[in-house]
A and B are shown apart, each in its own frame.
Chain A
Amino acid sequence: MRHSLLKVAALSSAATLTLAACGGSDSDTDATSGGGEGGEGTDVKACLAYDVGGRGDQSFNDSAAKGLDRAKDELKIEAEEVEASQGENDAAREDRLNQLVDAGCTNVIGVGFIYATAMGNAAKANPDVQFAIIDDASEASAGDNVAQLTFAEHEGSFLVGAAAAMKSKSNKVGFIGGMDVPLINKFEAGFEAGAKEVNPDIEVQTKYLAEDGSGFADPAKGQTAAEGMFDKGADVVYHAAGGSGAGVFKAAKAAKKMAIGVDSDQAKTAEADVQDVILTSMVKNVDVAVFDNIKATVDGEKQSGNIVFDLKAGGVDYATTGGKVDDIKDKLEEYKQKIIDGDITVPEK
């Protein structure tokens, strides 16, 4: 459940708040515990603690892994990665982070907000190590040596919302969320704002699949909800429902309507037979956040506080695979620029 939540989490409000709370630019390139044996370029050893699924989940974790791989290539750093077991608690997560420190990691990145509490504790115990967490900006994980990497999911959602409105012929579009929580509300708010920006009269139907995480792993539910929207006249449906999205695509295929993907470029990653119904996807570039964080360390910079990856930072974006938005690409780029420039402020709720 949390896993799927992560998949869905996306996008950033604005600026890259690099709160250099603690100065010493060199503080983490040397003087770390354990053996960050000298790689070719630097002493940095970056380590990823994945959520369940780990590398190869074709989603959130994989995206983070991509960032790590890029850092290995480009920055010549050492790397290490560990994935979570099913059904563990914060003690197990904290132990994992500590084991990474024991293994000589200078940078420990927790992939997913589930690591929040564990990371807060581990960071306090290991003040010389640079920590980073994806998708969390809470007090629990905060610390002088913790970078909280979040995304402006509502900004990306705004763009796909605009795309949906421009493509809709019935003036009705739909949003399906996996679970009615603030995080997913962000997607809805951005989507609706984007659609209304294009067409103030457009009708946006909204449906949340479940009260709990099952809404992110229930394609049948997703399909039923999407079918309902198509029946009621919607012709583009955007989902922020993780695995349940597969059902949304299926329904779109059957109704000969369109759907919008989330997290990754789903026109590439979804089942082959439904890829052609995917208008675009709201992409959340976890790899960018991971790479940037490692690069900062290599550059001798110490990060802490909430760093939001927004449109400007390349943390979120819309996908163009399939060429279905080619005709409106100019307009979308226009909106994008407006958001980056601050001419449009996208609501989060």
Chain B
Amino acid sequence: MNLNPRRIALTLAAPVLAIAVAFVITSLVLAAVGDPVGTVWKVLLDEPRPRTLVNIVNSATTYYIAAVAVAIGFKMKLFNIGVDGQYRIASFGAALVAGYGWLPGPLNIIFAMLVAMLIGGAWAGIAAWLKVTRGVSEVISTIMLNTISAGLVGWGLRSWGQRPEGSNSRTTTPIPEGSRLEGIALIPDAPNRVYTLILLALLVGVAYWFIINKTRFGFDLRAAGASETAAVASGVDYKRMIFISIVASGAVAGLVGMPAFFGLDHAYGMNFQEGVGFVGIGVALLGRNHPVGIAAAALLWSWLEKSSDGLQLQAGVSPALVYIIQGSILLAVVVAYEVVARIEKRLEQSQVSRQLQAREATEGAPA
């Protein structure tokens, strides 16, 4: 929209500032506990092996979709903490359905994804309904629904899952070979492949950008997020908007597990990734709810995460260090955005008044 250099600089300033602050905090922590600061940063900044690189991209794919799900809520000033639960229950449901393999190959994949969106949306819809009709804060209800979904999935696994001989883990029936996605050989020399459904993440990102920025619906959504009162006065049905955005957020959350499911796990079990929804919150914050920003944030997040093993092996530091870095980045981000936003506002106001003064000086006194 507004691509002047100052704006771009300011937009980038917050994450850069945040990362710098995180760098300093982490270094101080390292120094305080007597860990080798230099080695840690060297390991962290080393180019990862191709195999790890693929894993970083794959992880980022998952986080990206999760963060978009969270960002849809954020655009409306809604805090969908329930992305994790929606992801979990939708992944389970989709895995169950896909495992039956009612439809052949790719159709089965598409069908499963639709089921995932449906379940994720419906699960979030409970929170939406509670919010719209009963005024229950979505923060509270989604947290509770997270817990409930964990129980439901556990019960579901027990009811419909299977336990391979000799294993302690229950899973759903693995999907048929024909529905497994081999992946894309995106990174040379890597023994593993990038999830095929990175394309899904791409699609989700583009759709998110398009709907939010280009459609009337997106305009209404942003208006409602920016100012409930102004949106209502402009004719936006605020409750309907809340409902739709929470459900949409849940539907996208339902897709979060799909790339890993079809590209890696092929069945839902205890080894399925947990906590993705919470990572999504951090990534969305870090990426400023912007489709490109979220992508960068997701890559950064998963790059840090994958450094954990290397840090332990090569620098001999605790994996908790990675949490410290992530945590301090997030903390710094929240502060930095606030600071930068204020500077931005002030700069703009002063620019406006300066330009007007300059104009009036040439045109004479105002009417």
Contacts and interface: CB of A to CB of B under 8 A. Distances in A.
A103 B313 contact: yes
Interface residues of B, number: 46
Nearest to B311: A82
A214 B167 contact: no
A213 interface: yes
A255 interface: no
A139 B164 CA distance: 7
Nearest to A148: B166
- Size category of the A interface is 35 or more
Given A92-B55, A99-B313, A103-B313, A85 B322 contact: yes
A219 interface: no
A181 interface: yes
Interface in A97-144: 98-100, 102-103, 113-114, 116-117, 125, 135-140
B309 A91 contact: no
A179 interface: yes
A9 B59 CA distance: 30
Given A1-B274, A87-B275, A87-B279, 18 more contacts: A82-B309, A82-B312, A87-B278, A88-B273, A89-B272, A91-B55, A95-B51, A95-B306, A99-B52, A99-B309, A113-B168, A114-B270, A116-B271, A136-B169, A137-B166, A137-B167, A138-B169, A213-B150
A80 B192 CA distance: 25
B265 A83 contact: no
Interface stretch (B152-160, B215-223, B246-254): B152-160
B329 to A, nearest CB: 16
B68 interface: no
B308 A85 contact: yes
Contacts of B191: 125
A306 interface: yes
A139 B166 contact: yes
Given A82-B313, A99-B313, A116-B169, A89 B154 contact: no
B264 A306 contact: no
A90 interface: yes
Interface string B254-291: 00000010001100001111111011000000000000
Given A1-B270, A210-B154, A95 B165 contact: no
B310 interface: yes
* B153, B271, B278, B319, most chain A CB atoms within 10 A: B271
Contact of B153 (A96, A135, A139, A212): A212
B170 interface: yes
Interface in A179-217: 179-183, 210-214
A309 B274 CA distance: 31
B151 interface: yes
B305 interface: yes
Contacts of B51: 95, 98
